[in-house]
Amino acid sequence: MRWARSSEPCEDFHLSSERKIVIHLIPLDHRSGEIIEDLGSSLEALFEVPILQHEPTTLPASGYDPEREQYSSSQMLVNLTAFKNTLTNLERVLGIVSVDLYTDDLDFVFGEEDTHERVGVISIIRLQQEFYNLPPDKTLFQQRILKEAAHGLGHIYNLGHCSNSACVMYFSSQIGEIDQKGNIFCKECHPGRNTV
């Protein structure tokens, strides 16, 4: 896994790298940047493709709804697509935020993807025990982040939901369901290997 400063031009990185970056992980605020630590390495092992974990950026004000006190995940995808359009067609982009996300028809979302544009975003705020007034559990928190990041990226690799609860593509809309599912891809769900 490589780290890049957000100011580092990706073109230069590609030219100097023998291993072409396939997935970009972008913390969209400083708190998420501090928390995701080794996420890039864990995902790299899971997807078996080179991943570039960016330095945290500043959360754009666009998409914030002051009445809901949440950010629109769809607007985040628009911003991420603008970045994605500076890359090659083979790359995928996953943004990570520590703020709460919503879509127009749901009270909240753990994340959202645009599979056509190959971008996604996940929020970590509802993955921490403190959100449910429970004592912090860093290990559990990191496991949930890994599962949600892998699940979102799986969708960006055009994987649908999987009926196997041991598979990370198992559908989960509640925190308990995230904990119940596994953190690996089952045999039928193969991202990143022979997929363009």
Site for Zn ion, rule CB under 5 A: 162, 164, 167, 169, 186, 189
CB of 89 to Zn ion, least distance (A): 23
Location of structure tokens 């603008």: 82
Nearer to Zn ion, 10 or 186 (CB): 186
Angle between helices 39-47 and 138-156 (to 10 degrees): 50
Nearer to Zn ion, 52 or 109 (CB): 109
DSSP 56: P
Nearer to Zn ion, 153 or 169 (CB): 169
Tokens representing 87 are 């890359």
Non-local (6+) Cβ contacts of 62 within 8 A are 75, 79
CB of 53 to Zn ion, least distance (A): 22
Distances (CA, A) of 130 to 69, 95, 100, 143: 18, 22, 14, 15
Nearer to Zn ion, 51 or 150 (CB): 150
111, 94 contact by CB (below 8 A): no
CB of 38 to Zn ion, least distance (A): 23
CB of 148 to Zn ion, least distance (A): 9
